[in-house]
Structure 1
Amino acid sequence: MPIEADVRKIILLVDDHQEILDFLTDDLCDDYDIVQAHNGHLAIEVLLRQHIDLIVSDVMMPKMDGFELCSIIKKNPNCQHIPFIILTAKNSLQAKIEGLEYGADAYIEKPFSPSFLQAQIRSLIKNRMFLKEHYSSNDNAGTINPPTIEEDFMDKIQQLIIDHIDNTSLCVEFLADKLNVSRPTLYRKIKMTSNLSPNELINNLRLKRATQLLNNGSYKVYEISSMVGFSSSSHFIRNFQKHFGYSPKEWGSKFQSERQVQFRFG
C-alpha cells in the first residue's frame, strides 16, 4: 500500500543494467511512480528537473558509482533530505561502513527480497524524510532555493550537539536553554524536520561519532563511551549494538582487519 492514498510517491531507480531497472519497476510500480536513470550523472539531471521522494541506486556503475552519487546528493542542501537506498553485491563490513559514511539511509545486499526492499522504502518515506516539505509540488520544484529557516535551525542544533558530545548532561533542556527556545518548540522543530525526537537525534549523533572513533582504531571502547557522552560503557554498548547490529568491539576489529586486507591486497 502507498504511504498516502491520495499522493503517489516518486522513486528514482539508478542502475546501468536495464533488466534490473525493469525488474524493480515492475515490482514497485503498483504503489509508486517510477523514474529510471542508467548512471549517476543522469540521476542528477533527473533531480534537477523534477521532484523525487526516494532514490534506490546500485553501487557499481560507469561514469559515477552509487557511493559518489550518494555523497553528492547528501552534501547538497536542496536534495539531502531525500532517502537514499544502496543496493550492492558487496557484503563486507567495510562496504557497509563506506555506505554509511557517504550518507546512505539504508544498505541492502544482493540478492534481496523484494518485500524487504518495499518495507525499507515504506519506512524511509514515512519516518526518515530529512525535510518533509523541502520541495513543493508547484512549478518551482526543480529550482535551486536557499537554505530554509528549518535547515538553519537544524544545523545549529546538530552543531551544538557535536560541540558538547562528551557531556553526559546533554539533553533536551540543555539544547533548549542554549538555543533560547522552549522545550515544546524545540521538540516540534526537530520532529518536523527530521521525524526524530531530540533524544533520538542526540543518541544518533553520539553513535555516529562513536563509529568514527572506532574506525580510527586508537581508542578503547570505554574511552569512546566517555568521549561521546554515555554515562557508562554498558549503556553505550547496548545502544551501539541495538543501532548497528554489532558490538563496538566487533565493529572496530572487523573494520581494522578489513582495512589491513585491503591495504595488503589492494
Structure 2
Amino acid sequence: MENTIPENIPNEKFTLLLVDDNEEILDFLADELSEKYTVITAANAAAALGLLETHTVHLIISDIMMPGMDGLEFCDRVKSDFNLSHVPIILLTAKNTLQAKIEGLDAGADAYIEKPFSPEHLNAQVASLLTNRVKIKDYFAKSPLAHIKTMAHTRVDEQFLEQLQQTIEDNLANTLLDVEFLAHRLNMSRPTLYRKIKSISDLSPNEMINLTRLKKAAELISIGNHHMNEIAETVGYNSLTQFGRNFQRQFEMTPSDYVKKINS
C-alpha cells in the first residue's frame, strides 16, 4: 500500500514538531517536510515541551541522542502527559542495536528510524502514521458498533475514553448533558476537555455526545429486544423522526436498514 495522505485530507491541517540539537539535521528535516506540512522546530527537548504547550502538534520527530533530556525521556514525558499522550512520535537514532529499538518502543515511540535514513522513508513513515490516525477516527465515527477504545493509542487515552463514554452513557436521559456537565463530572476545565476530545477523535464534545447516543442506539438495535421508539427515547431523543434522520446522517443507513443488515 502506498503511504500517502488521502486527497480529501489537506496536509496543511497537520503540524509537525522536529526536535534535534544538530542544526544541520534540523534544517534538513524541516526542508524535507515543510512542503507538505506545517513545521516547527526545537533544538532540545525542554524547548520542545515549551512549544507543545502553545502549539497544536499532530506528530513529533525527535532525535534520541541530545544533551540534557534525551529523546527517550522526552518521549516518555509526552506519552505520560494527559494533554499530549495522543501525539505520535518518531524517534531517530544512530544506534542500530535491538536493545536501542526496544528502549525506544518502551518509551512509547510509535516508530523508530535509524540514521542514516532516506527522505522517502521518513516521508512515508510520517504519512503512514497520520493517515492511519485519520482512518481510525473515521472508522469509529462511521461504524455503529466500533468501540471508542479503537481510537486509543496509549493507556492514558484508553482510560480517558472509557471514562468519557461511561459518563455520557450514564446520563443519556439527562437534559443537562453538555460540555459543561462532562467537564464537571470528569474534573476537567472545559477548554482541556474540548482539546483532548478534538485531538483524539476530531469531534467536538457535543458531537461526541451525539455520536455516543447513536452508538448506544445501534447497540440496543443489535440486541433486538426493543421497539424503535423505545430505543430513541432511551438514548435521549424525543422525536423518532429526528432520531432516524441523525442515525442515517451518521452511519449512512436508516435504523430500519441497520436492522436488515444485522438480520442478514
Once residues 83 and 98 of structure 1 are traced to their aligned partners in structure 2, the CA distance between those partners, rounded to angstroms, is 16
2:96 is aligned to: 91
2:125 to 120, 126, 133: 120
2:34 to 29, 33, 39: 29
Give runs of aligned pairs for residues 37-116 of structure 1, distance below 5 A.
37-116=42-121
Once residues 6 and 120 of structure 1 are traced to their aligned partners in structure 2, the CA distance between those partners, rounded to angstroms, is 15
Amino acid at match of 2:70: D
SS of match in other structure, 2:82: coil
Cα deviation for residue 63 of structure 1 reads 1.4
SS of match in other structure, 1:71: helix
2:148 is aligned to: none
- Kept after mapping to 1: 8 A contact 2:12/2:38: no
Amino acid at match of 2:60: I
Once residues 54 and 136 of structure 2 are traced to their aligned partners in structure 1, the CA distance between those partners, rounded to angstroms, is 19
Matched, 1:153 2:162: yes
Once residues 10 and 30 of structure 1 are traced to their aligned partners in structure 2, the CA distance between those partners, rounded to angstroms, is 12
- Greater Rg by CA: 2
Give runs of aligned pairs for residues 134-145 of structure 1, distance below 5 A.
none
Q: Given the superposition, is the C-alpha separation of residues 149 and 80 from structure 1 closer, same or farther in structure 2, using an over 3 Å criterion?
A: closer
Once residues 136 and 53 of structure 2 are traced to their aligned partners in structure 1, the CA distance between those partners, rounded to angstroms, is 17
Matched pairs, number = 149
Cα deviation for residue 130 of structure 1 reads 11
Structure 2's unaligned 5+ residue stretches are 139-155, 167-214, 220-264
Computed over aligned residues only, the root mean square deviation of the Cα atoms, in angstroms, reads: 3.3
Q: Given the superposition, is the C-alpha separation of residues 98 and 155 from structure 1 closer, same or farther in structure 2, using an over 3 Å criterion?
A: farther
Cα deviation for residue 151 of structure 1 reads 2.3
State TM-score, norm by structure 1.
Answer: 0.50
Q: Deviation string for 1:97-132 (max 9, x for gaps)?
A: 000100000000000011011011011111147996
Structure 1's unaligned 5+ residue stretches are 134-146, 158-180, 186-266
- Kept after mapping to 2: 8 A contact 1:11/1:34: yes
- Kept after mapping to 1: 8 A contact 2:61/2:89: yes
SS of match in other structure, 2:13: coil
Matched, 1:17 2:22: yes
Amino acid at match of 2:160: E
SS of match in other structure, 1:61: coil
- Kept after mapping to 2: 8 A contact 1:13/1:34: yes
Identity %: 46
Once residues 67 and 114 of structure 2 are traced to their aligned partners in structure 1, the CA distance between those partners, rounded to angstroms, is 20
